[in-house]
Structure 1
Amino acid sequence: MSDLPALPVTFRPGRTRAVLLSAAVAIFVTITVIALLLEKLGPGERLSFVFTAALLAGVLALLARVKVVADETGVTVVNIAGKRRLDWAEIIQVNLRPGDPWVFLNLSDGTSLPALGIQPGIAKQQAIADARALRTLVEAHSSTRDLP
């Protein structure tokens, strides 16, 4: 298995992350500058502009934090509002079907977990390669866990 990625490995949508973080900075700076340039605004109103800009930038930063980290003991999935640690044995299948917005992990408890760290939005080929790499890791670790 020479094509097996070296662990630990982190999968994240790099281009999407760059776009989101750039937009967060641009929005924050633009709204803050507008708040400072509008002479008719009082201090409270200016503060509300800056607070709104920070809130919008924070939401974009949350969207940019998604990732999937695989290490020797399992996988950590960091999505927008949460983080979940999975042992290799819990992951049955890695799915990225045409039209899927991101990878789905089929789990041993019968549920499916979205893994937003691998998404074909802007970089489809990279997402496909990442999904294949994660699938290869899952298969490699499932074959070793079945051995006595």
Structure 2
Amino acid sequence: MTGPDPRPMAPDEWRPRDRGAVLLQVRPRRMVWIAGAAAFVTLATAVVVGILLKASGDAGITFRTFDQVGIIGVGALMAAAMMTAALPRLRVYETGVAVRNIAGEKFYPWPLVQRIRFPPGSPWAQLLLPDDEATPVLAVQAMDRGRAVRAMNELRDLHARFGPAPMVRPAGAPPPVVEDPDRPLGRLEIIDRRLAEKGGKGRGRRGGR
């Protein structure tokens, strides 16, 4: 037997109005600040250079208005590309999870979301889907630290309410990787491991009754 289809729902199959109320929304913060500052500096530099361009008699090069506008336009395009860092967004509903990274939004019904994890060394969270497939969640980023921890806790609480039963680690499977507590993401990874172990033990107790 095959598991649930891990592909996200198409827009015409699960429209936003069918998802219910938004229970949680997460966006990156520090990356947006960094990208915004870089975009501002890039655009301001392009504008200043474009305005101050003058004919250079010594070099025999003449900059016209078209050239000035072109330089400012290139700066604007570069700034817009940098601001794509503000696009990632995570929205959680009673019916599933909507993940928007850079291009487009994908909706995953709760039965497909096996687990929410933050792998060691990963810059962002992941949704674990059937058949060991995973999709990145750029809205929950490592550099947000405490804010990312709170988002992961809330997301896991909602997954515990609406998601499928926790997966049990097969007998003989290798133990989870032991995280280094000195690493910046130690708290996220330790929480991830403990919740997975609790889920496995809980299923084992219910199965023994």
Looking at structure 1, the residues matched to 83 and 97 of structure 2 have their Cα atoms a distance apart, in angstroms, of 22
Aligned counterpart, 1:86: 108
The TM-score, its normalising length taken from structure 1, stands at 0.82
CA shift digits 1:9-62 (9 cap, x unpaired)? 211111221221232123112211211111132122212211211111111111
Check conservation: 1:96, 1:128, Cα contact below 8 A.
Answer: no
**Residue 11 (str. 1) matches residue 26 (str. 2):** yes
Structure number with higher strand proportion: 1
Looking at structure 1, the residues matched to 94 and 76 of structure 2 have their Cα atoms a distance apart, in angstroms, of 38
Shift of 1:143: 5.5
**Residue 76 (str. 1) matches residue 92 (str. 2):** no
Check conservation: 1:9, 1:71, Cα contact below 8 A.
Answer: yes
Question: Match for 1:56 among 68, 75, 78?
Answer: 78
Check conservation: 2:27, 2:140, Cα contact below 8 A.
Answer: yes
**Residue 47 (str. 1) matches residue 72 (str. 2):** no
Select between 43-52 and 61-70 the one with higher mean Cα deviation. Answer: 43-52
Q: How many residues align?
A: 138
Aligned counterpart, 2:195: none
Percent pairwise identity: 28
Looking at structure 1, the residues matched to 148 and 37 of structure 2 have their Cα atoms a distance apart, in angstroms, of 21
SS at match of 2:141: coil
Can you give the 5+ residue segments of structure 2 that lack an aligned partner in the other structure?
A: 1-20, 56-62, 166-209
Can you give the 5+ residue segments of structure 1 that lack an aligned partner in the other structure?
A: 1-5
CA shift digits 1:63-105 (9 cap, x unpaired)? 2211111122221111112321111121111111331110011
- 1:72 counterpart letter in structure 2: E
The TM-score, its normalising length taken from structure 2, stands at 0.60
Question: Match for 1:66 among 88, 100, 107?
Answer: 88
Aligned counterpart, 1:24: 39
Q: Which has the larger radius of gyration?
A: 2
